[in-house]
Structure 1
Amino acid sequence: MNILQFNVRLAEGGAAGVALDLHQRALQQGLASHFVYGYGKGGKESVSHQNYPQVIKHTPRMTAMANIALFRLFNRDLFGNFNELYRTITRTPGPVVLHFHVLHSYWLNLKSVVRFCEKVKNHKPDVTLVWTLHDHWSVTGRCAFTDGCEGWKTGCQKCPTLINYPPVKIDRAHQLVAGKRQLFREMLALGCQFISPSPACG
């Protein structure tokens, strides 16, 4: 079995800690495991990169910087995909598990991720998709944490704060939430298993 853990950061934040722990435990059990992360501080390689085996920095610095700059206007990550991993994954013999954690925060375009998963499943049906929801991003138009706001229940009609993480200058959450939820339904249709470590994120 081959396992790939995906998280925006390698060793910063709670989600990274969970993904890294799973990666290290898999290696200890003799399984083939890799940890794919987006970027470190300033879009560079993580300062922890050399401390862990089988880790891969995924995103070029300019892609991360472009997503950071444009997110404030568009409320979503415009760039970033897994296309360069397609050949590696589909040519890997035996079962493959793709375990996603936090993919937002200026890393990946959600639609591109879903289309990538569709393509992989069509070519290699024995790929297992798992997504651990560490925050509220999957149900909101933009925010990673609701912080008590219940606007996501009615389609994020008007965001009460533009500074909630990740911050924006123009509120477009209401324009994005329906399409975003449709993409998560498409992941469910692909057989993706969603996991929530907290009832608040389920």
Structure 2
Amino acid sequence: MNTDLKVLMLSASDSKGGAAKVAQYTAVGLQDRGVSVEMLVSDKQTDAEWVKQLQPPQKHRLLGKIEYRAGVNALNLATKRRYNHIFELASEDYDVVHLHDLPAGLNILDLAKILRHKNVVWTIHSMAPLTGNCVFSFGCDRWMKGCHDCPQFGTWPLIYYHRDASAWNW
């Protein structure tokens, strides 16, 4: 099957973790069917030519490490500074942008602006996009009203500040 369809996949990694493996399998399956697929990741583990690593400019890498140590990287406020070149996506001719596990530091509001004129598919692999941070709430519904003394603070994904849905007063 030949197609002119061009797909971009965005994931934290190309093979490390369950969501990354799903993204990789999906990409390979589409390629096997003649679809042009590129993948942007923050943690590139393979040597696949169609996978490109999102590299923050050198001057921001140290700041990123400091943010990580301080625990504020999970607030996802740094898209423009850290991944400025991702804004070029708006001008690319991708027919579909397929989101998976989003890279740390990628602000979802900035991403929405970038992709506002694109066809977007988001495969949600955990509860994090719905809860604001909890990958799996384990039956806890405090994220709906305000976690505050969350027992998951300091666990993966590393968080030290409240960023549940209630923190943003939806």
TM bucket by the smaller chain?
Answer: 0.7 to 0.9
The answer for the alignment partner of 1:12 in structure 2 is: 16
Identify unmatched segments of 5+ residues in structure 1. Answer: 40-45, 122-126, 183-202
2:130 corresponding residue in structure 1: 139
SS of 1:98's partner is strand
Of 153-162 and 82-91, deviating more is: 82-91
CA contact (8 A) 1:36 1:57 kept: yes
Distance in 2 between residues matched to 1:91 and 1:162, nearest whole Å: 38
Displacement after TM superposition at 1:145 (Å): 2.2
Query: Following TM superposition, by how much is the alpha carbon of 1:9 offset from its aligned partner in structure 2, in angstroms?
Result: 0.9
Supply the distance in 1 between the matched residues of 2:156 and 2:50 (Cα, whole angstroms). 30
- Opposite residue 68 of structure 2, the aligned amino acid is I
Task: Tell me how far 1:8 sits from its aligned partner.
Answer: 0.5
Give CA deviations for 1:123-180 in whole Å, capped at 9, x if unaligned. Answer: xxxx3111111001012232222233221232434423313322334x3235x6453x
Q: Which amino acid aligns with 2:17?
A: G
In structure 2, distance between residues paired with 1:98 and 1:91? 11
- Partner of residue 53 from structure 1, selected from 40, 49, 55: 49
The percentage of counterpart residues that share the same residue type is: 22
- 2:123 alignment partner AA: T
Matched, 1:150 2:154: no
Preserved CA contact (<8 Å) 1:139 1:152: no
Q: Determine helix, strand or coil for the equivalent of 2:125.
A: coil
8 A Cα contact 1:15 1:101, kept in partner: yes
Render the CA deviation track for 1:9-58: whole Å, top value 9, x for unaligned.
Answer: 1110010011001111111111111011112xxxxxx342x1x2311001
Are residues 1:28 and 2:18 paired?
no
Amino acid at match of 1:7: S
Instruction: Tell me the amino acid that sits aligned with residue 53 of structure 1.
Output: E
Q: 1:53 & 1:75 partners in 2: Cα distance?
A: 29
Matches within 5 A, 1:1-202: 1-39=5-43, 46-48=44-46, 50=47, 52-60=48-56, 62=61, 65-70=65-70, 72-73=71-72, 75-80=74-79, 84-87=85-88, 90-92=91-93, 96-104=95-103, 106-118=104-116, 121=117, 127-169=118-160, 171-174=161-164, 177=166, 179=168
RMSD (Å), alpha carbons: 2.7
What is the alpha-carbon distance in structure 2 between the residues aligned to residue 38 and residue 177 of structure 1? 28
TM-score by length of 1: 0.66
How high is the TM-score relative to the length of structure 2? Answer: 0.77
In 1, the alpha carbon distance for the partners of 2:66 and 2:37 equals: 30
Which consecutive unaligned segments of at least 5 residues does structure 2 have? Answer: none
Query: How many residues are matched?
Result: 160
